[in-house]
């Protein structure tokens, strides 16, 4: 029984891997190649704050959905994808497993909504620098971007000042 099973398992594992190497698969644009990132920025925090967040507009002009599944950065010990939810009248942050950018659509990461959470800053963010962030997509492709730091002028009175400060 064992002699029969082992060759079959080897075939099952080898099949899909071999198929991924065909020229057709390799030439299809990756999610990282199809995404456009507009106006990324990272929020400057008061001294002593160990965490901050980065925001951007993700645009997908292609005909296939794009799914962001993770982000990395040398600026903090941990990087997570977050959203805000209403919980008994309080705005709370919650980690999400994915951020979808639908075909032909846009997804905005903004204060009070979706964001890239930088937890445990290696050093405080300084004005006029850019934070390196690598976006990781569901197909394994990656895109590195640089998010300039910016003061969160709209954070204290979100209701009165719903608009983002201009770039
Ligand atoms: Cu967060």
> What are the residue ranges spanned by the domains of the chain?
29-150
pLDDT of residue 152: 80
| Ion ligand 1: residues, Cβ under 5 Å | 82, 93, 117
pLDDT score, position 23? 52
Q: Ligand 1: distance of its center to the CA of 155 in Å?
A: 14
pLDDT grade, residue 27 (50/70/90)? confident
pLDDT at 13: 46
108, pLDDT greater than 60: yes
Distance in Å, CA 156 to ligand 1 centroid: 16
Q: What is the CATH number of domain 29-150?
A: 2.60.40.1890
* Phi, psi (degrees; rounded to nearest 5) at 105: -125, -175
Q: How far is the CA of 72 from the centre of ligand 1 (A)?
A: 14
Lowest mean pLDDT among 18-27, 83-92, 97-106, 153-162: 153-162
Among the residue ranges 8-17, 30-39, 134-143, the one predicted with the least confidence is: 8-17
Q: How many angstroms is it from 116 CA to the middle of ligand 1?
A: 7
Distance 92 CA to ligand 1 centre (A): 8
Centre of ligand 1 from the C-alpha of residue 25, in Å = 36
């Amino acid at each position: 029984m064992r002699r029969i099973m082992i060759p079959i398992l080897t075939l099952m594992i080898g099949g899909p891997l071999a198929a991924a190497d065909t020229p057709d698969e390799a030439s299809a644009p990756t999610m990282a190649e199809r995404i456009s990132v507009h106006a990324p920025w990272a929020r400057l925090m008061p001294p002593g704050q160990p965490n901050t967040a980065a925001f951007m507009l993700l645009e997908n002009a292609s005909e296939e959905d794009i799914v962001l599944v993770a982000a990395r950065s040398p600026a903090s010990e941990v990087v997570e994808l977050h959203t805000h939810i209403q919980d008994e009248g309080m705005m709370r942050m919650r980690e999400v497993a994915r951020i979808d950018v639908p075909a032909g659509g846009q997804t905005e990461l903004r204060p009070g909504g979706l964001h890239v959470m930088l937890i445990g800053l290696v050093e405080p963010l300084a004005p006029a620098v850019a934070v390196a962030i690598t976006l990781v997509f569901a197909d394994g492709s990656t895109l590195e971007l640089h998010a300039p730091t910016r003061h969160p002028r709209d954070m204290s009175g979100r209701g009165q000042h719903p608009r983002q400060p201009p770039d």
